[in-house]
Structure 1
């Protein structure tokens, strides 16, 4: 693993002050991402973990902060390593140890004040949140968290939101994380849990921190929907939707500049008074909370309580209240859109496993008994009448659409809005979305978003979100025979950019867009030349892409484009489609046989087998066309 890190020996020093100083140094150093690999190579997590249970409270505090910063700034790899190094064992042990103190009255906190304890508790929760939410090994971490019995303490933290919003936000983040796909925890749900969440949803504070708090509570309620008593479902669903609606109604494009102006004005005033300090902001959007003003006691520094600026954030600049408000607003809107995405999402395999179905009219059973019609991404997903009605009553679709054209540097909310649009188009009828006029307006929005710049954006997350939304929109527009503003040439340029992307689902979406566009053009006159371009592009992908899923989608799109019509027949002849497919057929079959079982899921193999059958039939169809 290399030579010992300079901080490794001090971490094991018999002096508490030395151990604390070493933890504090690591906490600051790991905010520079380039230093993190060195700490991982030298077992930083394994060395820091035991210090969470150190006999010195100050060492515990700084060790917890170091792990929090390491996980927040290190991302997926670090969090996965934290779980593998069993950091959840000391974390949950520490939570179990300190939670009885949470019930103490203020007068019984001798060596540590209540505000200090609350900050300490918040830091532990923050570390747990990051580890649980980012690590792929979260099932193991979740199980340990469930067994630690922390749920009642999280609820008590939530109930303190009127006095300590910072701690309540940590608890809300934690509850939102641990309630997702956690059947074990669902067994612990009761009326007290739901009552606490409902009280948060119905709170009326208008600041951005409480907006985020209510949004996180709404996400937890949705995660717990199967536990809702029948008699309370309608009321709770209405409160949840009202929360999301109020959050999305906020115009970040107006509020963010206002917050920025307020920050500039306040900074100028502070500078004139000689009190302005510049602090470097570290990576991440995590709002690591500052102490409640009324509590008035600060964290320990080198074992001593000191009076400093009321801010414990290592990850945001000190004194940047406006930045915190802006971060809370954007996080709340992103979370709201993610919740709506989940509402409009089925339990089918995910997009990146494949857009599972062929668009052929064939509906034969696959070898493993799965029907093609059961896996179509474009078929209506399961959306209950109650949820559908609540979305419409609170004008959620209309408010969601406003987030598609989001200001620069707020792309994450925009991407979630595009994903949300894709799911709503897949689950809601056109009239619910405003009818033909509204769909045309959406098409115009997307056209402006994608084609207004000289070059199509290449960012993968953007391409995945926008191609998914555009695919769903074009499908419904084609079905309703609505004129739309995007030209075939524009869609060709988007598909060309997307087919160069490394993400399989982006390439699949691009090919589906070409298929929808071509099948529409095939019904019109004087379109053979454009159909030739589309057909050539699809053949290129079907022949050369290394991924069989993508090759299959390209073939599927070819079937759609050249299925019928004089223009399609003329274009097929001009690009020698029949001979190209005959040459491709044995290669495609051989690849499925050689690569299939080792690289692709049973569902993907089912669809590939279906496309193989359809390819044979389509070649037969083209042969009859040639003989005419």
Structure 2
């Protein structure tokens, strides 16, 4: 956000390198592999030339080639950090600017392989040295120093967001403190302050060393959060900056701390302001401006496209910030350095008491009342729901997919929906059900989402399926907790889409979401105590048992078994448990389940918590239920 792609230097009238110009390179669609390799090797040589024009031309060639992901990886692998890293300290401003730009493009487009190779080849040493050169710098109206700084800070952001070694270097060299000097808009301007804040967001992500330094200038961040403008031309940039500041403030504060509530009230107000912008209008503007074929676009239209796209990116960012604000890592108490087998032993030792089976011990965190008031007063929930609605229909998508820019718009619309669903998923357990419009409204929303994912979403759109089913799961969880009586005359046909998805979806997370939904659905039916629901409860319970016999993933098996233990935890379910032969069927599953856990223990990662808990509790649950059913039969 707030980042602008620099203007390429104009080609020199002469071509001292004999290489194709940047424009020629970008336009040559038939550029063959052998020719690319030759150009690449020539660029490696010329970038080390003593002639300024040769260096600049070679750097521009490398930047152009690195727009291709595979080429960016190759360039990084070839040791580009060693070749051009020293140029970050070159005496010529244009060389420094182009070098920083080239390295940033390689890092951004090359992915994990590029980050690793750049760090391995010690790009951090010249990069840190360059940034320290700016410790007393103030930008001039002209010159390349501003561009060099922007590109260098963005390169630092990319590396630190993706590599722990880079973050350690930053901590060791106290760069977080250095960056805090560049937050005065009157001196440095909007672009520099924004890119600096974006970098500080990455540095402060669960990094106490950086957080302590940034906390020292919190008052400056508050002032930026209150930044206003009457100029329509800069309004979106100001809002983008304030959103980044909101993100940073969340990283360095904890809303559980009552002394920090005022921070989060201001943050929520900014996010509400961002989400109030009509994304339909932005999308409509884009679809009307974009050409239906690969024709040239005027500068005026291109500017409008850029502004609309930035606003959509801003809304996605706001949703992500909100989601992260409410996110609690269920596995945060488990040390990632502990071996999987040790985790199982720890869980088993902590679950020896039968009272551990009491589901009522589960705690649900809630927002402080001050934040709930902001959510209510700003209609924040309605704004989030609004972002889940499909705006770009299939007909418009077909038109947009004819161009690269159109495809970007379709993806942006899609990503906003996913972010909104995930945001709702994280908000639901933290805010009282009345804030979401009460039981009836939540139930209607659940049906609406179900219609979307089971009828309109293709099975290969895993990202949307995962986000939407997560929101549906969270809604049912809330309805189950308040014992809502909303499912009347439920039929097998009504639940069949969930059953089919739990059986057939290729994505494990989606299958798990559907299984937990089935569990919550049964719990709601049981709470209502309607005799006509008896067969439905038996049907779903049997389905969950059958899944375990065919499932290949230990995590999905664990979730199914955990769902059954939740459903049949109460003594009043003993009769129904006997009807479906719960105990003998669970007993027969134990060898299969434990075998899958042993085979997959290295791959379980985030799902380790539920797998180890089920592994520890299953035998004890079976023994207890076996005893209860035996007593029941003796009484009868």
Q: TM-score, normalised by structure 1?
A: 0.76
Structure 1 residues 534 and 36, CA gap change in structure 2 (3 angstroms) = farther
Structure 1 residue aligned with 2:327: 345
Is 1:477 the equivalent of 2:479?
yes
Tell me by how many angstroms 1:141 deviates.
1.7
Contact 2:98–2:148, Cα closer than 8 Å, also in 1:
no
Deviations 1:411-449 (A, max 9, x none): 212111111111111111112222123313322331232
Structure 2 residue aligned with 1:35: 71
Deviations 1:84-118 (A, max 9, x none): 33322222211112343x226x4xxxxxx645221
1:405-554 to structure 2, matched below 5 A, reads 405-408=389-392, 409=410, 410-453=413-456, 456-478=458-480, 479-483=482-486, 489-494=493-498, 496-497=500-501, 500=504, 504-521=508-525, 523-527=529-533, 530-531=536-537, 533-554=539-560
Distance in 2, Cα, partners of 1:347 & 1:376: 20
Structure 1 residues 598 and 226, CA gap change in structure 2 (3 angstroms) = closer
Contact 1:122–1:167, Cα closer than 8 Å, also in 2:
yes
Is 1:189 the equivalent of 2:214?
yes
Structure 2 residue aligned with 1:169: 194
Tell me by how many angstroms 1:553 deviates.
1.2
Contact 2:286–2:305, Cα closer than 8 Å, also in 1:
yes
Secondary structure of 1:516's counterpart equals: helix
Structure 1 residue aligned with 2:281: 254
1:188-227 to structure 2, matched below 5 A, reads 188-189=213-214, 193-205=217-229, 207-225=235-253
Contact 1:53–1:94, Cα closer than 8 Å, also in 2:
yes
Structure 1 residue aligned with 2:103: 67
Distance in 1, Cα, partners of 2:176 & 2:70: 36
Tell me by how many angstroms 1:243 deviates.
0.7
Secondary structure of 1:86's counterpart equals: coil
Structure 1 residue aligned with 2:88: 52
Q: Which of residues 393, 398, 403 is equivalent to 2:377?
A: 393
Structure 1 residue aligned with 2:18: none
Secondary structure of 2:350's counterpart equals: coil
Structure 1 residues 491 and 534, CA gap change in structure 2 (3 angstroms) = same
1:277-288 to structure 2, matched below 5 A, reads none
Structure 1 residues 407 and 88, CA gap change in structure 2 (3 angstroms) = farther
Distance in 2, Cα, partners of 1:433 & 1:125: 41
Tell me by how many angstroms 1:566 deviates.
11
Structure 1 residues 340 and 487, CA gap change in structure 2 (3 angstroms) = farther
Secondary structure of 1:610's counterpart equals: helix
Tell me by how many angstroms 1:328 deviates.
2.0
Q: Which of residues 234, 237, 258 is equivalent to 2:264?
A: 237
Is 1:367 the equivalent of 2:348?
yes
Distance in 2, Cα, partners of 1:624 & 1:12: 86
1:298-313 to structure 2, matched below 5 A, reads none
Structure 1 residue aligned with 2:342: none
Q: Which of residues 5, 18, 22 is equivalent to 2:54?
A: 18
Structure 1 residues 184 and 560, CA gap change in structure 2 (3 angstroms) = closer
Secondary structure of 1:68's counterpart equals: helix
Gaps of 5+ in 2: 1-33, 337-345, 393-409
Structure 1 residues 604 and 208, CA gap change in structure 2 (3 angstroms) = same
Distance in 2, Cα, partners of 1:163 & 1:256: 32
Distance in 1, Cα, partners of 2:486 & 2:333: 28
Structure 1 residue aligned with 2:9: none
Structure 1 residue aligned with 2:593: 588
Structure 1 residues 94 and 418, CA gap change in structure 2 (3 angstroms) = same
Structure 1 residues 169 and 619, CA gap change in structure 2 (3 angstroms) = same
Distance in 2, Cα, partners of 1:373 & 1:52: 61
Contact 2:86–2:126, Cα closer than 8 Å, also in 1:
yes
Greater per-residue helix proportion: 2
Contact 1:161–1:168, Cα closer than 8 Å, also in 2:
no
Structure 1 residues 497 and 456, CA gap change in structure 2 (3 angstroms) = farther
Contact 2:87–2:95, Cα closer than 8 Å, also in 1:
yes
Contact 2:107–2:115, Cα closer than 8 Å, also in 1:
yes
Tell me by how many angstroms 1:29 deviates.
1.2
Structure 1 residues 539 and 13, CA gap change in structure 2 (3 angstroms) = farther
Structure 1 residues 536 and 160, CA gap change in structure 2 (3 angstroms) = same
Structure 1 residues 173 and 565, CA gap change in structure 2 (3 angstroms) = same
Structure 1 residue aligned with 2:138: 103
Q: CA RMSD in A?
A: 4.1
Structure 1 residues 90 and 337, CA gap change in structure 2 (3 angstroms) = same
Contact 2:204–2:210, Cα closer than 8 Å, also in 1:
yes
Structure 1 residues 47 and 541, CA gap change in structure 2 (3 angstroms) = farther
Contact 1:132–1:178, Cα closer than 8 Å, also in 2:
yes
Deviations 1:195-233 (A, max 9, x none): 3222222122353222211111111111222599987x4
1:560-575 to structure 2, matched below 5 A, reads 560-561=566-567, 573=579
Q: TM-score, normalised by structure 2?
A: 0.75
Structure 1 residues 164 and 505, CA gap change in structure 2 (3 angstroms) = same
Tell me by how many angstroms 1:252 deviates.
0.5
Distance in 2, Cα, partners of 1:225 & 1:166: 25
Structure 1 residues 180 and 570, CA gap change in structure 2 (3 angstroms) = closer
Contact 1:495–1:513, Cα closer than 8 Å, also in 2:
no
Structure 1 residues 211 and 386, CA gap change in structure 2 (3 angstroms) = same
Tell me by how many angstroms 1:277 deviates.
5.0
Structure 2 residue aligned with 1:145: 170
Structure 2 residue aligned with 1:82: 118
Deviations 1:353-376 (A, max 9, x none): 99xxxxxxxxxx943437958999
Contact 1:352–1:504, Cα closer than 8 Å, also in 2:
no
Is 1:322 the equivalent of 2:307?
no
Structure 1 residues 86 and 422, CA gap change in structure 2 (3 angstroms) = same
Gaps of 5+ in 1: 107-112, 280-308, 310-317, 355-364
Is 1:608 the equivalent of 2:615?
yes
Structure 1 range deviating more: 344-353 or 384-393: 344-353
Structure 1 residues 389 and 256, CA gap change in structure 2 (3 angstroms) = same
Contact 2:562–2:614, Cα closer than 8 Å, also in 1:
no
Contact 2:574–2:625, Cα closer than 8 Å, also in 1:
no
Contact 1:405–1:449, Cα closer than 8 Å, also in 2:
no
Deviations 1:158-212 (A, max 9, x none): 4327984333321221122222212102222356x22322222212235322221
